[in-house]
Structure 1
Amino acid sequence: MTSETTDSLTITAGSEMGSVGAGFKDSGKNMVNLDNVSVVIPSYKSEKFIGRAISSCLSEGVVDRNIIVVEDGVFDKTSDEVRKFFGVVLYSFPSNQGAQYARNFGLSHVTTEYVIFLDADDYFEGGSVLGLLNAIDNNKSDISIGPWRYKWSERNGSIRYAREKNNFEWIGHWLNEGFHPPCSVMWRSRSVRTIGAWDESIKKNQDGELMVRGFLNDLRVAVSHSGCSVYWQHQSPNRVSLGSLEYSIEAAEKIYNQLLGNGDVVRSVSDYALGRFCCKMAWHSCLIPSKRRATLWRDRAIKHGYLKKGYNKKSNFLAAFFGVRLSANIKSILLPRLIDLIRK
């Protein structure tokens, strides 16, 4: 293992040979080579979780030298934890550059045909990586999407499975909270680079924007039903995916404009899906609060024929009694607190 320091980052290089026996997994029929899969892990103040993420990669059969950790600012002992894993590659920035920058930087060092982007607090289990690889390879697709579940410190969520869809159906699915986290998605490296990789200008819903862009570019999607990727939920302010409502609305604006720029999408994605998405953004705008944005998104929802005041049963019920603006605050602030009190 060697280390090199430059003006911008510190590099810990991985083993040239890798671990003995690494890179192969028994699928039940024959040995499948995982040498062609890389995992990029953006890391920000993640010393408590990074070891679990790396261990899960190795347990799944990913070769150590194909695990690339990008430490986005040196603030804790993350690098010490990474160095416990011989052969894993670590890049450390002296200051924070943002999760998308870290992901793109890691991608620029990927030499394998396939790549997964794994947040430092998430992990794999049960043959998830092998399942994703089999799906993307056997179907000659650009993306594979596999099972995943939420995980809280006190409980486990149920496993969520993807269903086969065409790209227009995937867009409608993603617009309305049918997302799958990055840990459950494998990309053909060439394909994610071709569509421009991660958009570094947005700070929320980066994975949703990237997936929709992939669907718009006619990338082929396969589905795996093997294993499970775990999407860890906790209250740490250092989680990669946290961001304000304003950032979420900015990302939604970019996604919506991309959709409108593609006539085939406007004709093929259901008006209900587009309208419901716009209605939800109107509610979010009420929380900022921004009357101008709320009105803009509400008008868009109506244009798509979505005439409900809310985007689900709960918001429709509240809006009928309190109006959208007050209901948005009740739904986002008061109801969660009431639920917490009931649980206690």
Structure 2
Amino acid sequence: MKQPLVSIIIPTYNSKNYLEEAVSSALRQSYQPIEIIVIDDGSTDQTRDLFPEFESKGVKCFTIENGGASNARNYGLEKASGEYIQFLDADDIIEPTKIEKQLHLMQKHQAGICYSPWIDFKTHPNDGHQTEFRFLHINHSLIRTGKELMISYGMDNWFIPTVSWLVSKTVIEKAGYWNPAKCPNDDGEYFSRVLFWTKKVVCCNENLAHYRLVAGDSLSKLNSTVKIEASFKSHKQVEALLTTCDDKRLMCYPKRHHYMSYKLIKKGYPKLAKRAARHFDAIKSDSFLSKKKHYWRLINWFGLYNGTKIYKLLLPIWNLSKR
């Protein structure tokens, strides 16, 4: 029986120092057939000097005008011929058995997507002193719908990085392309659509991906008004999508997004934090914060912004009373 082709799409921008590791991890895959597609998003660090060596190993390399990672991923999707897609950022690494093990589970259970736990690292994935293992207190053995996984995100407050996923082309065709607008939440918004349209999600409960923690400024940090506005817009897009579904439990998912934004920007951007708090309050659903009973009660009475202030004032008193 002929095995399906898997496309590994690697967008890169000024990541020459990391790109060889990412491409090497793709080339080492135990599964075949695969195609590897590298899209240079207008880099200025001589990334293209690596292309002759890559191409000699069968890697397809393209250079486009700078338009952001999501635009580069869309270009990769246009060039991809695979029935399954692995998105691999240029600074991340995948284990040699990732595609093989995830695809086996997807075929066994007729699932649209598969994810795995991952390892955070800074310099080298095998450097135990610099590698943080992320243990998720979630039952990964379950086979769930994409919407059920979104509820788990909202109620248990966890996430999955792009590198952990393997996605069928059938699901991608339903979810559509990545939003090309530069946004700190580009992967969150995209995989929200992927999960929304996925009937079955499986987990390969083994660390198969390595997510690099890069120091310095990053698009993912909410450290400017432009980034905050882009992130807020993406959260509202996800919220609008979920309101089309009858399952009201799903609304804990965008509610969590607004809370995380509020938490990240409340010191530097208080007005925009208040807006995030208002949108959190406007969503009438449960939340992972409900596990903090006193805090959750104050939030429901006074709203997230004022309830948080009151909670901080009362917390020392409650702690003293427990002694």
Length-normalised TM-score, structure 1? 0.71
Residue 321, structure 1, aligned to residue 317, structure 2: no
* Gap change, CA 1:128 and 1:159, over 3 Å in 2: farther
Q: What is aligned with 1:120?
A: 90
2:235 to 223, 242, 252: 252
Amino acid at match of 1:166: T
* Gap change, CA 1:187 and 1:298, over 3 Å in 2: closer
User: Any unmatched runs of 5+ in structure 1?
Assistant: 1-31, 311-315, 324-344
Greater RCO, CA 8 A, separation 6+:
2
Amino acid at match of 1:254: Q
Residue 145, structure 1, aligned to residue 127, structure 2: no
Amino acid at match of 2:50: E
Residue 48, structure 1, aligned to residue 28, structure 2: no
Could you tell me how far 1:157 is from its partner in structure 2? 1.7
Q: For 2:47 and 2:166, how far apart are their aligned partners in 1?
A: 25
Secondary structure, aligned partner of 2:189: helix
Q: For 2:167 and 2:184, how far apart are their aligned partners in 1?
A: 20
Q: Which deviates further from its counterpart, 107-116 or 198-207?
A: 198-207
Q: What is the total number of aligned residue pairs between the two structures?
A: 283
Q: Is the CA contact 1:205–1:248 (under 8 Å) kept in the aligned structure 2? A: yes
Could you tell me how far 1:63 is from its partner in structure 2? 6.0
Secondary structure, aligned partner of 1:199: coil
2:63 to 92, 97, 115: 92
2:215 to 235, 251, 256: 235
Could you tell me how far 1:137 is from its partner in structure 2? 1.8
Q: What is aligned with 2:148?
A: 169
Could you tell me how far 1:145 is from its partner in structure 2? 0.9
Residue 73, structure 1, aligned to residue 42, structure 2: yes
Q: For 1:242 and 1:42, how far apart are their aligned partners in 2?
A: 19
Q: Is the CA contact 1:172–1:274 (under 8 Å) kept in the aligned structure 2? A: no
Could you tell me how far 1:69 is from its partner in structure 2? 0.3
Amino acid at match of 1:147: P
* Gap change, CA 1:34 and 1:64, over 3 Å in 2: closer
RMSD, aligned CA: 3.2
* Gap change, CA 1:257 and 1:159, over 3 Å in 2: same
Q: For 1:75 and 1:64, how far apart are their aligned partners in 2?
A: 32
Q: Which deviates further from its counterpart, 48-57 or 187-196?
A: 187-196
Q: Which deviates further from its counterpart, 196-205 or 178-187?
A: 196-205
Could you tell me how far 1:90 is from its partner in structure 2? 0.6
Q: What is aligned with 1:189?
A: 169
Amino acid at match of 1:117: F
Could you tell me how far 1:276 is from its partner in structure 2? 4.4
Secondary structure, aligned partner of 1:225: coil
Q: What is aligned with 1:13?
A: none
Secondary structure, aligned partner of 1:254: helix
Q: What is aligned with 1:293?
A: 275
Post-superposition CA distance 1:69-91 (Å, at most 9, x none): 00001311212223322211111
Length-normalised TM-score, structure 2? 0.76
User: Any unmatched runs of 5+ in structure 2?
Assistant: 124-128, 288-295, 300-306, 315-323
Q: Is the CA contact 2:146–2:197 (under 8 Å) kept in the aligned structure 1? A: no
* Gap change, CA 1:58 and 1:240, over 3 Å in 2: farther
Could you tell me how far 1:99 is from its partner in structure 2? 0.7
Q: What is aligned with 1:109?
A: 79
